Structure 1
C-alpha cells in the first residue's frame, strides 16, 4: 500500500514487557479481592456464632431451674386476732418454706428479703399506737420498721426490701392492746448472699 508507512510488527519482548505489569496488577487485585472475601466470610461467621451464643443463653435463662426453685425461701402469714401491748404477735405460717417458731420468723440464710405487710388495726383506749417489726439476733434486738397507726386511718401498708442475716428472728408487736384484722404478712428471699472462700 502506497502512502502509508509500514507498520513494523511489535517485538515480542516489548509486548511481553508491557503485559507483565498489567498481569501483576491483575494478580494483585485478585489477591486483594480474595483477602476481602475471606475477611467478610470471617466476620459473618463470627456474627453468626455470637448470635447463636446469645440465643443459647436466652433460651437457657428462660428455662426454670429446679435447683434454684428448691432454694427459694418464703412465707405467707394471715393473722386476725388480739395483740397485747409490748408482746410479740403470735404469728403462724399459712404456707411457705421459712420456719416460724414461737411467733418468730426464723431467718436461715443471709440475703435480701422482700417484705410485704398489709392489714388494719382497731383499738379503743388511745387515739394511736405503733406497730413495730423487730429483728432479734443472739445478743441484740433492733427495730426494722415502725408505723404509727391512728384511729381515723387504721390501715397498715408496708412493701420494702431488707437485708437480713442468718440466725435473725423477725417479730411483730404493737405499743398498746389492739384488734388486728386481715393482717397479711409475706417474706421472700430475693437474692441469697453467697460467701466464697
Structure 2
C-alpha cells in the first residue's frame, strides 16, 4: 500500500511539473493574443480616424464660396483733380461691381485683393515728406495700408500690391499736403475670397 501511495505521489508530481510549463505556455499565448488584438483595434481606430479626416477635408473643400454671384467683385477708378491735405480724395467708380460711398470703396467680401494705382501727382505745398496713402477704416479703427513718398523730381506713382481686406472695410486715398493729381488709374479686384468653414 505504501509503495502504491509513493507511486501515485510521484505520478502527481510529474503531472504537476508537466502541466506547469503547459499552463505557462498557454498564458503566454493568451497574452500574445490580447496584445495582437489591441494592436489590431488600435490600427483600425487610426484608419477610421484618417478616413474621417479625409472625408471632412473633402466635404469642406466642396463647400461653395460665400460669394452669392459668380461675378468677381472689382472696381476701376479714374481721377484727375485737386486734393486737400487731411481730406480723403473724392473717388468715384468708373466701372465695376464694388460700391462707392462718399469717396470710399466699400469692400464687399473678406479676401485677397489686387490693388493697382498709377498716375502723376504734383504737390503744391512742399513738405519734408509728401505722401500718398491708402487708408482702411472699419467700424472701430483706421490704419494706413500703404504709403508712398512722392518726390518733386519724379512725381509718378506706380504701385501694385496684394492686400487682405475684410467685409465692411472702407478704403480711401489721402495726401499729406495739397496736390494736383492727373490721370490717376486705381483698380481693386478680389482675387481670392475667404471661404468660411462649417
Distance in 2 (alpha carbons) for counterparts of 1:185 and 1:93: 9
Partner of 2:4: none
Residues 189 and 120 of structure 1: CA distance in aligned 2, closer, same or farther (over 3 Å): same
What is the TM-score of this pair, normalised by structure 1? Answer: 0.64
Partner of 1:86: 86
Partner of 1:153: 154
Indicate the SS of the match to 2:70.
helix
Deviations 1:116-152 (A, max 9, x none): 0000101232065110000000000001000010111
Query: 1:28-39 to 2 correspondence within 5 Å?
Result: none
**The 10-residue stretch of structure 1 (168-177 or 67-76) with the greater mean CA deviation from structure 2:** 67-76
Partner of 1:17: none
- Verify the 8 A CA contact 2:124 2:180 in the aligned structure 1: no
The CA deviation at 1:69 is 7.4
Partner of 1:166: 167
Aligned residues: 131
Indicate the SS of the match to 2:90.
coil
Say whether 1:108 aligns with 2:108: yes
Indicate the SS of the match to 1:150.
coil
Partner of 1:124: 124
Distance in 2 (alpha carbons) for counterparts of 1:95 and 1:157: 20
Gap regions ≥5 residues in structure 2: 1-66
What is the TM-score of this pair, normalised by structure 2? Answer: 0.64
Partner of 1:57: none
Aligned Cα root-mean-square deviation (Å): 1.6
Partner of 1:58: none
Gap regions ≥5 residues in structure 1: 1-66
Distance in 2 (alpha carbons) for counterparts of 1:125 and 1:107: 32
Runs (4 or more) in structure 1 with deviation over 2 Å come to 67-71
Deviations 1:13-66 (A, max 9, x none): xxxxxxxxxxxxxxxxxxxxxxxxxxxxxxxxxxxxxxxxxxxxxxxxxxxxxx
